[in-house]
Structure 1
Amino acid sequence: MNEIIQQKLKGIEEKFNVKILYAVESGSRAWGFPSKDSDYDVRFIYVHSPAWYLSIDPQGSAAKRDVIEEPINDLLDISGWELTKALRLFRKSNPPLLEWLRSGIIYYQKDSFVDHIRSLESNVFYPNSMLYHYLNMAKNNYREYLQGPNVKIKKYFYVLRPILACNWIEKYHTTPPISFNELMEDIVPAGDLKNEVQHLLKRKLAGDEMDLEARISVINDFLESEMERLEEYTKTLKVEVEDPTEMLDELFRDTLQQTWK
């Protein structure tokens, strides 16, 4: 599969006349709980040539789209963000982008861009944005999948992971790790809850279908209480971050020059 992904990335560079700076796996494979039929969610950051930026129409307007999205099939979902779009989102502590930077499955990395952007993360970290993102994700997934006497129990992970990410942010005031197992080992104490989650994870990784089954009370109780508690916690946060735009402008210019020597 890696060879297919590499060919796809090369084809995107040629088709759109761009340079890919960084490409990774996102989603359940990167989080550590893929199903046997999980597709590959490839995400990348790319940069155009200098001439593309030196025009009267700004990026993201008219024909100058700032995303590339290839047709999705059962095996591969691949899309990317243009560099200045990615940097603007980085300035807001965009959680999906910060997850890309933490993915343990890297398909491609060019020059020093990723090292530089990672070094600036402490300058842009804004817990409010991340907490709202993960908490809303958890609430939406819980409402859709985990109510009623019978639930799609494999969907527990799509609520547990964002809740544990919120717990991490609250505990450490840093961006949470992408690995579900790392989050669980740090956040969830030994006991019934951890045992149930570990059992569920083993079943999922073993390929059990795990469709509709009776809800797991200990997990539901934990999720409901944490969503309510975190909702109140987010209201207490008052964090100010210095504007990092000048640093990110410099990173953009340096990357553009380095990439298109």
Structure 2
Amino acid sequence: MNEIIQDKLIEIEEAYQIKILYAVESGSRAWGFPSKDSDYDVRFIYIHQPQWYLSIDPQGIGAKRDVIEMPINDLLDISGWEITKALRLFRKSNPPLLEWMRSNILYFQQYSFIDNLRSLESEVFYPNASLYHYLNMAKNNYREYLRGPEVKIKKYFYVLRPVLACKWIEERKTVPPIDFHELLQIMVPEGELRTEIDRLLERKIIGDELDIEPRIKVINEYVESEMIRLEAYIKTLTVEIDDPTNKLDDLFRNTLKEVWG
């Protein structure tokens, strides 16, 4: 599959006359709990040639789209963000972008862009944005899948992961790991809750069919109480950061020069 993805990325570069700077796996494979039928969610950041930027029409308007999306099939979902879109989202601590930057499944990387971007992360990270993102994700998935006496049991991971990400941010004030195993090991101590989560995770990874089953009381009680507590905590949090726009402008210009000369 890696070879197919590499070929697709080359096709995209040629078709759109761009350079891909960074491409990784996103979604459940990157999070560490894929199902046996999980597709591949490839995400990338790219840069156009200089003349694309030297225009009276701004990026993202009309024909100047700032995303590239390939047709989705049952096996592969591939899309990318143009560099200035990515930098604007980075300025807002966009959690999906921050997760891409932490993915352990790397498909492609060239030039110094992503390393330079990572070097700015501690200056730019705004915990409020990530906390709201992950808490809303947890609440929405809980409301959708886990409220009844019988639940879509594999969806526990789509509530647990954002809850644990919030707890990481609360305690460490840094971007949380993308890997669920790391979050679980550090944020959940040994005990009944950890045992139930480990058992469920093992079943999912070995390919057990995890469909509708009775709810797991200890996990439900944990995520319910944590979501209430985290919602109250977020309302008390005030964080200010310096405007990073000038540094991000410099990174964009330097990358444009590095790539195209």
TM-score (norm: length of structure 1) = 1.00
Letter in 2 for 1:103: S
Letter in 2 for 1:102: R
- Cα separation, 1, equivalents of 2:144 and 2:112: 41
SS state at 1:34 partner: coil
Letter in 2 for 1:199: R
Q: Deviations over 1:127-176 (max 9, x none)?
A: 00000000000000000010101001000000000000000000100000
**Residues 96-135 of structure 1: pairs in structure 2 closer than 5 A:** 96-135=96-135
Partner of 1:220: 220
Please report how far the alpha carbon of residue 29 of structure 1 lies from its aligned counterpart in structure 2 after TM superposition.
0.4
Give unmatched runs, 5+ long, in structure 2.
none
Letter in 1 for 2:57: D
- Cα separation, 2, equivalents of 1:136 and 1:7: 36
Structure 2 residue 35 is matched with structure 1 residue 35: yes
Partner of 1:141: 141
Partner of 2:164: 164
- Cα separation, 1, equivalents of 2:36 and 2:210: 12
SS state at 1:199 partner: helix
- Cα separation, 2, equivalents of 1:240 and 1:208: 46
Letter in 1 for 2:238: K
TM-score (norm: length of structure 2) = 1.00
SS state at 2:12 partner: helix
- Cα separation, 2, equivalents of 1:252 and 1:235: 34
Partner of 1:55: 55
Structure 2 residue 137 is matched with structure 1 residue 155: no
SS state at 1:185 partner: helix
Please report how far the alpha carbon of residue 63 of structure 1 lies from its aligned counterpart in structure 2 after TM superposition.
0.3
- Cα separation, 1, equivalents of 2:15 and 2:131: 37
- Cα separation, 1, equivalents of 2:188 and 2:142: 19
SS state at 2:221 partner: helix
- Cα separation, 2, equivalents of 1:167 and 1:12: 38
SS state at 2:181 partner: helix
- Cα separation, 1, equivalents of 2:215 and 2:117: 42
Please report how far the alpha carbon of residue 64 of structure 1 lies from its aligned counterpart in structure 2 after TM superposition.
0.1
Partner of 2:69: 69
Q: Deviations over 1:5-58 (max 9, x none)?
A: 000000011111111000000000000000000000000000000000000000
Following TM superposition, the consecutive aligned residue runs of length 4 or more in structure 1 with deviations greater than 6 angstroms are none
Partner of 2:258: 258
SS state at 1:51 partner: helix
SS state at 1:90 partner: helix
- Cα separation, 1, equivalents of 2:165 and 2:44: 23
**Residues 226-245 of structure 1: pairs in structure 2 closer than 5 A:** 226-245=226-245
Please report how far the alpha carbon of residue 111 of structure 1 lies from its aligned counterpart in structure 2 after TM superposition.
1.1
- Cα separation, 1, equivalents of 2:68 and 2:6: 16
- Cα separation, 1, equivalents of 2:18 and 2:139: 38
Partner of 2:190: 190
Partner of 2:7: 7
Kindly tell me the number of residue pairs found equivalent between the two proteins. 261
Instruction: Please report the RMSD computed on the Cα atoms of aligned residues, expressed in angstroms.
Output: 0.4
Partner of 1:93: 93
